[in-house]
Structure 1
Amino acid sequence: MTDALEDDVEYERRFLVADLAVLNGVEDYEQIEQAYVWKAGGYAIRVRTIRRSDDPTGETQASFTLKGPRKDAHRYELEQPMDPGHAHAIAEVTPHRIRKKRYAKITEGNTWVIDVFEGANHGLIIAEFEAGRGAVGSLKKPWWAGEEVTEDVRYNNEELAANPWPFKERP
């Protein structure tokens, strides 16, 4: 990977949440809606809107994102802010969408985001730890985590939008 692209790489590990006690005491969240415009070969283009539960203005933020294939706990990601009205308009004509609440939690000295999926993916809860290459590589599985799904493409959001959890039978 070239140095120019290195700035646009996200390093993360992902786990199913086995013990919901990890969310005890966490109240604030981000309501996230993502619409997938295109996906092929591990690449995906999406629009995302975010509304924070603790924002009294109720303002929505939006972004346009290109993601590359995930390999060895990293993935190319290029994200740009965009007008929320345009993001909503694109989402309206896009059939593959997900909704989730995202909670931030510090546990065992690490900051995690925990996504509680809604709609067709209701019941699915995935925790992500995102940091630099070294921290992600040396991460120990926390007490509340279940199966690691970092490299399981079925748990990529673009896949969940098209093939919700529990996964549809594929031909």
Structure 2
Amino acid sequence: MIEIERKFLVNSEIYKDQAFRKARITQGFLNTHKARTVRIRLRGEKGFITVKGQSSSNGLSRFEWEKEISKQEAESLLKLCEPTIIDKVRYEVKAGTHIFEVDEFYGDNQGLVIAEIELKTEHETFEKPIWLGEEVTGDIKYYNSQLSKHPYINW
């Protein structure tokens, strides 16, 4: 249940042509305390509740627990979330043996595009696509929980 993840900015839209799947995601946060966040997500017809712990000092890993819930439960819980609700499209792109999840944000975070890759170890190597830009792993302003409080439009 430990998530190891690296985050990057994206420097072109080439990933869209390379994506094998995309989905609209709406998500909000019931709690955004730095020691724990509780996220509600609606992805298509499925809902999810996720609890994440505090990130390691290098920002690469943290505890994550997720459970699928019904669409109706997710819609009801989204009404209880802190402002602002995150709206994005997630593109899934294969690169070598890994899959990048590329999030294109809308609303108050319009213009921000972030790619994430989950790894098995903190030192695992991976293929870097040409559209991958600056690494922002560990920079909390790029966490979705922070984007809901301090949207990209205000930077």
When normalised by structure 2's length, the TM-score is 0.88
Counterpart mapping for 1:47-66 below 5 A: 47-51=40-44, 60-66=45-51
Q: Which has the larger radius of gyration?
A: 1
Q: Which residue is 1:89 aligned to?
A: 76
1:61-105 CA-partner distances (Å, limit 9, x unpaired) = 011110012223111101111122121112123223101111111
Aligned with residue 95 of structure 2, among 107, 121, 125: 107
In the aligned structure 2, how far is the partner of 1:26 from the partner of 1:106? 7
SS in 1 for 2:152: coil
Aligned with residue 46 of structure 1, among 39, 44, 59: 39
1:9-49 CA-partner distances (Å, limit 9, x unpaired) = 11111100012212225374111111101111242101111
The one-letter code matched in structure 2 to 1:153 is: I
Alignment RMSD: 1.9
1:137–1:167 Cα change, 3 Å: farther
1:46–1:116 Cα change, 3 Å: same
Structure 1, unpaired ranges of 5+: 1-7, 52-59
SS in 2 for 1:24: helix
Structure 2, unpaired ranges of 5+: none
Aligned with residue 2 of structure 2, among 2, 9, 18: 9
Q: Which residue is 1:148 aligned to?
A: 135
1:145 Cα deviation from its structure 2 partner: 1.2
Aligned structure 1 segments of 4 or more residues deviating by more than 3 angstroms:
25-28, 139-142
The one-letter code matched in structure 2 to 1:164 is: P
Q: Which residue is 1:18 aligned to?
A: 11
1:137 Cα deviation from its structure 2 partner: 3.4
Identical residues among aligned pairs (%) = 30
Contact 1:108 1:142 in 2 (8 A): no
Q: Which residue is 2:124 aligned to?
A: 137
